Each structure stands twice: as structure tokens, then as C-alpha cells.
Chains A and B, each alone.
Chain A
Amino acid sequence: MERLYPHPAIPGLNLRTSAVFFARRMEQELTELVRTEILDTAEPLTPQSDLFAAGLDSMGIMQLLLAIEDKFGVAIDPADLSRENFSTGEKIATLVAEKQAAASR
């Protein structure tokens, strides 16, 4: 029986191994995208790093939304953003995954 893992950010949601793998990969990709293309910094970032503290500002957020749309095919309405759901690579990945799931229904 495949083991299920709890989703790191959505309580009560359990994921299959493959879904966890893809979620982790998206977190890493998003964090690296922020680090290299938005912040353009050599400072190391993890999926749990506070991106606002790392320098992500209004202009950077706009650029990031465009990059997310290009890379993951998901258009996120700026009105859906909050400091709570956009502060780390992990949280952004969760938001993107939710949007992808909603689009596929």
C-alpha cells in the first residue's frame, strides 16, 4: 500500500509519494527562480526563506507572477495574493498547485 504523506501546508490533505516529490520540486524551482531571475542574488535561499526579508518587493512580485505564468501555465490574480500565502517558495508552490488543480477540474 502506498504510503501517504501529509501536505506541508494544507492540513488534512495527504499526498502520495509522487505528489510529494512534485510538490518539493516545484518549491525548489520557484525558490531558485526567485533567487536567480527576480532577486538576482548569490545569497542562498531555501523554500522556507522569507522572500520579503530577502528583498522581494512590489516590482519583483509583478515579475514573479509573470514568470509563474510562463513557467507553470498558471495566471494568479494579484488580488489573491497576501503576505501569508506568498512569503516563501513553499507557500507560493502551494498556491500555484491549488490554481493548477482548480484549472484542471
Chain B
Amino acid sequence: MRRTSQGRHLAATVVELEGTPDLNCIQRAAEELGKEYPILHARNERSKKDWIARWRTDLVSPAAVPVKRWHLPGLSVGGEEIASLDDLIGRVINGTEIDIHAPGPNLIFHVIVLSPASWALVLAWSHSLMDAVGMTKLLHLLASGESAPADPPPTAADAMPVSELYKQAHPMIEEMRKFPAWRPRSLHRKGARPGKSRFHVAAFGKAETAAIRSKMAATAGELLLLPYFACCAARAVQAVISARFPEEQASILLTLPVQRQSDPAKRPLFSNHMTPYTVLLTPEELGELKPATSALYRKYADFMRRKLPAAMHALMRMMERCPSCFYNLPAFIYMRGEICSLFHSHTGAFIPGVGSMFGCRIANGYHVPSVSAPPGIGIFFSEHEGQLSMTLSWKEGCLTPLELELLKETLSQDLGTPVP
């Protein structure tokens, strides 16, 4: 996650709730969480012995997770006034309050009152601290009011010799050598400095979500979310790239998360739970949604059969030993300035099995990650009680307003319902 400045990028997780916030309860939870997990205030530092970056929990005094209060205009409640929930999310993902390389919080709670009968909890967090799987586990903890044992710190034995890691990583290195020939593109404009992080959250209602599911079932079956929604996302980005470069046939290089540990009980809270799974989809494969989904599934099957997840994990561990500039520049030259065409995930149910938090019913929940450029765009899905949420996240400068409309139009066609 530290590679290509991903490590400094922030995410917002939004839990929309009915009722009014119990600030004492939230404050208590923030205090217990901060004291239980010193990593929430630790800085990340590269060891001079083995060059591996670690969280310096040994330098931290336990402290409560900060809680900040906000309210929309016209509401006479405590906290600072802000124009909208989107404004707050924008501040979070473009903020500088969280810096994993400096002392200070790595997680902040923002409580925003939206109306006399609704509010939202916006969690600001660093993607170096955890991923969506870890955030789901954290939300479960907050909802249950229980605390879980802190994760044990990694031991020195985790530092496998680079020569051994290289042997394990070699199959993935060989696989990645095929990518440049396909000339994948992203929405990043070469030479342009990416601007602020922008986003759009599309919340589909129950009827619209049912329609989307129905189309998915008719196209690719009702169970495999990952290949179907990944192909919808890939085709949308391809449409924009094709409009930008009409003389080219653009391939799409997708980076998808692959779960490293299936059993939720064994997944540590603050850790990367995912290994990236990089798959190339050619213009021919992306021609129509149904064959694209089949192609992506076959490539996933091939990826798993050749044991490439373990090879990818070894490659990531190899790269952990170096500052990102050591491998980013050669990678950029080799891949002509691209990492992948887009980031994508469908995280499934948002806090599965949980209907309320801090005494209030959860109306909806979704994640808003910021993305780096390249690729400059991420398309993320999750679902809560039959309502699908889609987050489009991009870097200013990577997507014009017209291109954003083209992206949404292509997604609308593939999902089978207009994007709100």
C-alpha cells in the first residue's frame, strides 16, 4: 500500500444511521479502541537493519481515537457547521491530519448530524493501516461494543531472505513481463500532476439493486460478484480510454484484491488482508459483458491454478525491503508510466450481520477510498440490506466532466439501471 504513494492515501468509511448520536457512547468506544490498539497512534518507520517498514508501537502512549463533531446548516447542535456530508468526505480523503510517517492519529471519528433524525459516522483512516476487510472487522467491534485481543506484532522471523522471496516471486515476475506488450492504459494523463481526490457515491435503492442483481443473474449467474462487477468497471474505464484514444484498442489491466486468509477469525485487524491479483483483459474479451465475465473468471482460475497469489505475495514482500522509488521508476519505464488501468473491489455486504451501531439503526454504509494516479480511477461496490452502493473515486485532472458522464453512462448500460 506504500507503493506509488498509496501509503499516504486516505479512505473514508461512511455509516449512515437513523436517530441521534450518543456522544458519550461514541467517546467511550473511541477511548477503548485507542487504548487497546497503540497502532492507531503509531508512526510507520523503515528499519535500518532490514529495511522493512514497521509500526513503532513501542514509541506510543495509548490515547483515545479523536472524535470530531459536525452538523449541517440549520441544525442547532454542537460541533462545527459544514455544507454537506460530501464536503466532509472530501475533506477526509484530501486531509493531512493523518500521516503514517509522523506521530499522531491514524484513525479519526467524524460524527456529523444530518437532520434531527439522522446522522453519520465517518471514519477517516490510512490505507497503510488496514484495508476494507480490516475496516469491516473494526466496524464489527464498534457495533458489538466488545474488544478483541490486539494483533501480535510481526516477528523478525518474517524477514525471509530476498533470494528465497525471489524464487517464490519468479512466476509472477514472468507473468508481468507479458503485460507491456498489451500496452494497457489508464486515465492518468502523462506529464500532468494529479490534483485533489474526487468522488461520487451512487446509492441504488432496493428496487434498482434487485434489477441489477436480476441482470447479473441473467448474464453471469447470481453468485459471482467479483468477475461481473469487475467487468462492468473495466468496460466503463475502457469506454473513456477509447474515447480519448479512438485510434487505439485499449487493453485493461485490472488490479483486484484476493483474500489471503479465508477464516474471519484468523484475520488480524490491522494488516493487509489482500494480495493483488493482476489480470489483463484484451479489447476482444471486453467486447460484451457476458464473455468478459467468463474471460475474467477463466483468468482467475488460471491465476489460482498456477499459484500466482503466493508468488504475488512474495513479490510484494520483496518490494517492501526497498523505498518505493527503487522499483517505481523502473516499473514506470517498463510499463510506460502505468501501474494498472483502474482499482476495483466489491466488498460484498457492508458489516454483514449488523443492523445497528451505538443504539441506532444503520440506514446505509459504504467506503470512499482515494486513489493514486496512475491509474487515477477506482470503482468500488458494496451492499447493505439489499441496497448497492457504488463509489467512483478519481484524481482531479484524470477525468473530465464529460468523461465522468461517459463512465456513468457505460456503467448504467451494463448494470441495467441508471446511475444516480
Contacts and interface: CB of A to CB of B under 8 A. Distances in A.
B82 to A, nearest CB: 36
Count class of interface residues, chain B: 20 to 34
B224 A55 contact: no
Given A66-B301, A78-B221, A79-B220, A57 B263 contact: no
A39 B224 CA distance: 16
A79 to B, nearest CB: 4
Interface residues of A, number: 22
Contacts of B222: 81-83
* Chain B interface main SS type: helix
Interface in B256-315: 258-259, 261-266, 293, 297, 300-301, 304-305
A85 to B, nearest CB: 10
B226 A58 contact: yes
B220 A78 contact: yes
A63 interface: yes
Nearest to B261: A40
Interface in A23-51: 38-41
B221 A59 contact: no
Contacts of A82: 217, 221-223
Nearest to B223: A81
A65 B227 CA distance: 14
A65 B222 CA distance: 14
A83 to B, nearest CB: 7
A86 B261 CA distance: 22
A77 interface: yes
A58 B348 CA distance: 8
B225 interface: yes
A2 interface: no
B304 A63 contact: yes
Interface in B193-249: 217, 219-227
B346 interface: yes
Contacts, number: 62
Contacts of A59: 226, 258-259
A39 to B, nearest CB: 5
B263 A78 contact: no
Contact of B266 (A40, A63, A86): A40
A8 interface: no
A62 interface: yes
A98 B217 CA distance: 21
Contacts of A80: 221
A61 B217 CA distance: 15
A62 B297 contact: yes
B267 to A, nearest CB: 10
A59 B260 CA distance: 11
Contacts of B220: 78-79
Candidate in A55, A62, A81 with the most chain B CB atoms within 10 angstroms: A62
A83 B221 contact: no
A57 B221 contact: no
Contacts of A60: 259, 262
A79 B258 contact: no
A39 B223 contact: no
Interface in B298-340: 300-301, 304-305
A96 B348 CA distance: 26
A4 B224 CA distance: 37
B266 A58 contact: no
Contacts of B301: 62, 65-66
Sorted nearest first, the 7 A-B pairs with minimum C-beta distance are: A79-B221, A58-B225, A40-B263, A81-B223, A40-B262, A78-B221, A41-B263
Interface of A: 38-41, 55, 57-63, 65-66, 77-83, 86
Given A59-B258, A78-B224, 9 more contacts: A40-B262, A41-B262, A60-B262, A61-B223, A61-B224, A62-B300, A65-B301, A78-B221, A78-B227
24 contacts: A38-B262, A40-B263, A40-B266, A41-B265, A55-B264, A58-B225, A59-B226, A59-B258, A60-B259, A61-B223, A61-B224, A62-B227, A62-B297, A62-B300, A62-B301, A66-B301, A66-B304, A77-B221, A78-B221, A78-B223, A80-B221, A82-B222, A83-B223, A86-B223
